[in-house]
Amino acid sequence: MSEISRNGAGASGQPGRIGIGLELDAVHMKILEVLRENGRISVSALAERVGISRANAYTRFEALRADGAIKRFTAEIDHVRTGLGITALIFVTVRQQMWKQFRAELARMPEVEYCAITTGQHDAMIQVRMSDVAEVHAMVTDRLANIPAVKATETVFILDEVLRRPYVLPSDRDKARPVRRAAQEASGDVPLGKMRFVGAAEGRAALRKDG
């Protein structure tokens, strides 16, 4: 039931701007880099890996937590082992003016792992974990369908989760190696034709107001 930070694609605050609080320097970033890989590392070991003193590491660690740059520490669990081996994505079309109700209902659905409001054909995407396909069907038809705010849904199943990185950082960008296709790069010939961007549906501008 954790409300997480708004991304605000254009609307709220400049992206890239570090919040009102702490100014994050290179050392802070390095700390985050270590912590996202190993959330249980001791602060002493962290200090060593980052190359700062223990006291400094404690100060920064606490500052990052207090500031909210680190939201929480969590254990990644193997859902297949715990009996929730089926994952589905449900794309939801929400009746305008009923966002508030939609969000309230979401809070009552603990089997929902993730929910994001998106541009494009649908309004929201929710990810659920279930023990079998029938349960997904029941969830969609019995629970979601009974929410007046839900106008329509479209469900797809996840066949394989190829990767999940423990939270991306800007420093990752530098590690990116562009695909080497000499001929294409030389001519600047990028096949734009096969790409498609989908903007927000009509009426979505009022999202924040009634959400």
Partner DNA sequence: GTTGAAATTAGTACGAA
Partner DNA sequence: TTCGTACTAATTTCAAC
Q: Which residues in the 20-59 window bind DNA by CB under 7 A? A: 27, 42-45, 52-56, 58-59
Residue from 7, 44, 56, 59 touching a second copy (CB under 8 A): that is 7
- DSSP secondary structure code for residue 86 in this structure: E
CA-based radius of gyration for the chain = 21
- In the list a second copy, DNA, none, the entry touching 50 (Cβ below 5 to 8 angstroms by class) is none
Q: Which of 86, 99, 102 is nearest to 135 (CA)?
A: 86
Q: Hey, which residues between 92 and 121 contact a second copy (CB under 8 A)?
A: 103, 105-121
Tell me how far apart the alpha carbons of residues 189 and 105 are, in angstroms, rounded to a whole number. Answer: 48
Q: Which of 55, 78, 93 is nearest to 164 (CA)?
A: 78
Q: Rounded to the nearest 5 degrees, what angle is found at the Cα of 31, between the Cα atoms of 27 and 37?
A: 150
- In the list a second copy, DNA, none, the entry touching 191 (Cβ below 5 to 8 angstroms by class) is a second copy
Q: Hey, which residues between 124 and 183 contact a second copy (CB under 8 A)?
A: 124-125, 128-133, 137, 140-147, 150-170, 172-173, 175-179, 181
Q: Is the CB of residue 115 less than 8 Å from the CB of residue 106?
A: yes
Is 18 a binding residue for DNA by CB under 7 A? The answer is: no
- In the list a second copy, DNA, none, the entry touching 118 (Cβ below 5 to 8 angstroms by class) is a second copy
- In the list DNA, a second copy, none, the entry touching 182 (Cβ below 5 to 8 angstroms by class) is none
Least distance to a second copy, CB of residue 201, Å: 10
Tokens of 138: 């029941």
Tell me how far apart the alpha carbons of residues 65 and 22 are, in angstroms, rounded to a whole number. Answer: 10
Task: Give the interface with DNA as residue ranges (CB under 7 A).
Answer: 27, 42-45, 52-56, 58-60
